[in-house]
Amino acid sequence: MSKIDIVTINEIKTQTPSIKSLFFEWDKEIDPGQFVMVWIPGVDEVPMSLSHQEEVQGITVRNVGSATEALHEFEEGDKLGIRGPFGRGYSLVSDNVLAVVGGIGGASIRPSIVDLVSKSKNVKCALGAETKEELLFEDELSDLTHLHVATDDGTKGHEGFVTEIIEEMLHDIDCVITCGPEPMMQRTADIAAKKNVPVQASLERYMKCGMGLCDSCSINGYQVCRDGPVFYDDELKKMKEFGKFERDKSGRKVRLC
Ligand SMILES: Cc1cc2nc3c(=O)[nH]c(=O)nc-3n(C[C@H](O)[C@H](O)[C@H](O)COP(=O)(O)OP(=O)(O)OC[C@H]3O[C@@H](n4cnc5c(N)ncnc54)[C@H](O)[C@@H]3O)c2cc1C
Ligand code: FES
């Protein structure tokens, strides 16, 4: 097993009603889109993107179950363990990039947008959430990118799925990066393929080791922790389960909603 670094939470920010960022100092280099295993003492160890990789590092967490609920109960001064970095991140070489982001997917994509903008690349962003209150990093993304918003309930921007607004945004785009619910990423890949625009998508699967040993994160011959989490469209096309099935904690194949 790789070494665990113990870090101290020095700031906590509530981003949306269901999402908080926890900031700490960690002295490791990490590529945008790579991930870490976060150990919550006495609770669990779970995969997380490093949403903030500047002077201060941070994770941004959506409360969905026991581990993420425990992270939401953290206070400044509390300690957690970090293992990593792991996996393959985004390849950020294109000049005109469209980021398609849904829900908590902004945690994975944010460092790529910061990196691209720091290199004076053009970045458009399609940001989706269920409601306007759940639009993650909306103000920052509005400053950094040419931002279009969609909400399921129509409380801000386009009423409906974020994939319904991306076709017109693909004009002059060389590359799409995407993170969010898997059916959203699959639809994004289909729309981009029709315009011959390459796609990189960050996948989530249940993870135990994070480093290619247990195979709990497998999808059609790939291990998400080692070969991904970011995959290119030629790889996504080979994954029959992409956008359709995932594995539960026991390894059973279950249909994605
Ligand atoms: C590479 C990677 C990066 C991630 N980055 C982030 C991040 O930056 N912020 C964030 O909030 N979450 C992120 N996740 C998801 C996060 O790891 C899970 O939400 C977390 O493990 C849930 O643990 P829990 O004990 O709170 O919930 P559980 O009780 O374990 O699960 C609650 C629900 O979440 C689902 N779930 C649990 N783990 C996963 C998983 N790995 N993939 C898909 N669904 C899962 C379960 O099926 C269940 O429906 C990432 C996952 C991966 C694989
Ligand atoms: S999490 Fe163990 S092999 Fe990927």
pLDDT in tens, 4-47: 999 999 999 999 999 999 999 998 999 999 999 999 999 999 99
**Fold identical between 5-86 and 96-255?**
no
CATH of domain 96-255: 3.40.50.80
- Cα–Cα distance between 188 and 232 in angstroms, integer? 13
- Please identify, by atom number, the ligand 1 atom nearest to the C-alpha of residue 86: 1
Ligand whose nearest atom lies closest to the CA of 209 = 2
Confidence of residue 1 (pLDDT cuts 50, 70, 90): low
Q: How many CA atoms lie within 13 A of 181 on its CB side?
A: 15
Residue 192 is predicted with a pLDDT of 96
Residue carrying structure tokens 């889109």:
33
Question: In whole angstroms, how far apart are CA 26 and each of 15, 29, 48, 90, 211?
Answer: 21, 9, 14, 21, 20
On the question of pLDDT at 128 being above 90, the answer is yes
C-beta 30 within 6 A of ligand 1: no
The CATH number assigned to the domain with range 5-86 reads 2.40.30.10
Query: How many angstroms separate the alpha carbon of residue 76 from the centre of ligand 1?
Result: 23
Average pLDDT, integer, range 216-230? 94
Place of tokens 């910061």: 114
Task: Enumerate the domain spans of the chain.
Answer: 5-86, 96-255
230 lines ligand 1 (CB under 6 A): no
User: Residue 149: what residue type?
Assistant: V
Q: Does 247 contact ligand 2 (Cβ within 6 A)?
A: no
pLDDT of 75 higher than 90: yes
**Residue 86 pLDDT:** 96
Percent of the chain with pLDDT over 70: 99
Q: What is the pLDDT of residue 64?
A: 95
- Kindly report the number of other CB atoms within 10 A of residue 81's CB atom: 16
Q: What is the mean pLDDT of the chain?
A: 94
Least distant ligand from the CA of 106: 1
